[in-house]
């Protein structure tokens, strides 16, 4: 599509090209636009509401405030003018009344990360509303959260890659991609680390979309220093503390699965006493206050034990630990499966968990 409307190519353009063109004309800084009808965002559009982006810090950080475009005929110049008007106000994501959503970015990757994060946020709010009432963060809490991100570690002078270390990198990379495919992680959030030797470990980087993370992106942390030229996840400090205080833990996953986060943002208890396997894998999951991973990382790390492999941080994430990386991933899968079952059971009736005697029988058989 040329600026004057001339079409070059064998196919006709999308009927929605007028609003794409209008956005580019209104915002020279925008180089990519995505329009789609993802179910959670369509749900907001047909009840004519905007998702509150203060539900999780990176929702606001990645997406910013959300614009709202009143209904206009699809494919019309009027719709283009309406949507472009919202982007002129500085919005990078717009809910289209009774239609869908449109997001933009500096490039296609930037736009997609925003699009995926926005749909994740909408799903989290809807799931939380199914089991309770979402609780939102204040702007001051989010600002304070970002200000508490610790300073970067100094760089090591020389890095050594052994065969074992490269194998760990490969496992982390494959597991992160698998997590993205299974909805356990989104491109804008999720940290995985594996202990390498003593308290040295390998950890995923910051600001790299999770679905394209590769071996060379993983960051080695050794003797309190980071691999040269790389920036580790902002969650680095809490991973350090967990390894230091828990010799039995050799892998950590910190992430935001959409069903688990419904419990993390609603204050409702995620009771894993649903089926035997859920409790055996996870036992009871403590819930801690928002920001604890920065303000009280040592105290948070002290909550983990062989009998407490996972902790939920309100309005932020779940941290799952284990010996081997695959064990940690299995626990994450079971946790998300359990959360989804709990949400789906809500319209059916009251949860009837496994009773104390049944729990004790499981403890004796599988955990003694």
The Cα-based distances of 298 to 287, 293, 301 in angstroms read 16, 8, 5
Q: What angle do CA 203, 208, 212 make, to 5 degrees?
A: 95
Burial 156-189 (b: 16+ CB within 10 A, else e): beebeeeeebeebbebbbebbbebbeeebbbbbb
Task: For residue 80, give the 3-state DSSP assignment.
Answer: helix
What values do phi and psi take at 296, rounded to 5?
Answer: -135, 55
CA-based nearest residue to 82, from 16, 6, 3: 16
CA-to-CA distance for 224 and 301, rounded, in angstroms?
17
Query: In this structure, what DSSP letter does residue 53 have?
Result: G
Task: For residue 354, give the 3-state DSSP assignment.
Answer: coil
Contact 129, 263 (CB under 8 A): no
**Tokens 């069903």 correspond to what residue?**
259
Looking at 16, 119, 227, 336, which residue is catalytic? 16
CA-to-CA distance for 356 and 20, rounded, in angstroms?
59
Task: For residue 256, give the 3-state DSSP assignment.
Answer: coil
CA-to-CA distance for 9 and 189, rounded, in angstroms?
38
Torsion angle (degrees, nearest 10) of CA 259, 265, 271, 274: -20
Residue 360 is among the residues annotated as catalytic for this protein: no
| Residues assigned a catalytic role | 16
């Amino acid at each position: 599509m040329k600026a004057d409307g001339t079409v070059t190519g064998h196919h006709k353009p999308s009927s929605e090209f007028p609003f794409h063109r209008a956005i580019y004309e209104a915002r020279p800084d925008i180089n990519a636009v995505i329009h789609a009808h993802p179910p959670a965002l369509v749900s907001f559009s047909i009840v004519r509401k905007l998702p509150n982006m203060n539900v999780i810090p990176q929702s606001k950080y990645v997406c910013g405030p959300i614009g709202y475009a009143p209904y206009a005929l699809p494919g019309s110049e009027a719709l283009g003018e309406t949507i472009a008007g919202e982007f002129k106000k500085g919005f990078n994501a717009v809910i289209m009344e009774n239609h869908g959503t449109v997001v933009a970015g500096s490039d296609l990757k930037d736009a997609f990360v925003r699009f995926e994060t926005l749909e994740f946020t909408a799903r989290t709010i809807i799931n939380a509303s199914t089991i309770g009432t979402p609780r939102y963060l204040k702007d001051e809490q989010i600002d304070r959260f970002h200000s508490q991100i610790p300073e970067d570690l100094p760089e090591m002078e020389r890095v050594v890659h052994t065969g074992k270390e490269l194998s760990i990198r490969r496992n982390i990379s494959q597991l992160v991609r698998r997590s993205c495919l299974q909805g356990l992680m989104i491109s804008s959030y999720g940290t995985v680390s594996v202990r390498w030797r003593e308290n040295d470990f390998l950890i995923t980087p910051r600001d790299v979309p999770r679905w394209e993370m590769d071996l060379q992106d993983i960051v080695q942390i050794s003797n309190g220093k980071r691999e040269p030229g790389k920036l580790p996840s902002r969650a680095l400090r809490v991973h350090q503390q967990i390894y230091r205080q828990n010799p039995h833990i050799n892998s950590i996953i910190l992430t935001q699965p959409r069903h688990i986060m419904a419990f993390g943002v609603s204050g409702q208890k995620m009771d894993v006493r649903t089926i035997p396997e859920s409790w055996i894998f996870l036992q009871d999951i403590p819930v801690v206050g928002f920001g604890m991973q920065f303000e009280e990382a040592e105290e948070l790390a002290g909550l983990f034990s062989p009998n407490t492999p996972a902790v939920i941080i309100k309005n932020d994430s779940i941290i799952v630990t284990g010996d081997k990386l695959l064990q940690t991933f299995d626990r994450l899968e079971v946790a998300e499966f359990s959360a989804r079952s709990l949400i789906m059971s809500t319209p059916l009736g009251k949860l009837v968990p496994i009773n104390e005697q049944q729990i004790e029988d499981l403890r004796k058989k599988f955990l003694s």
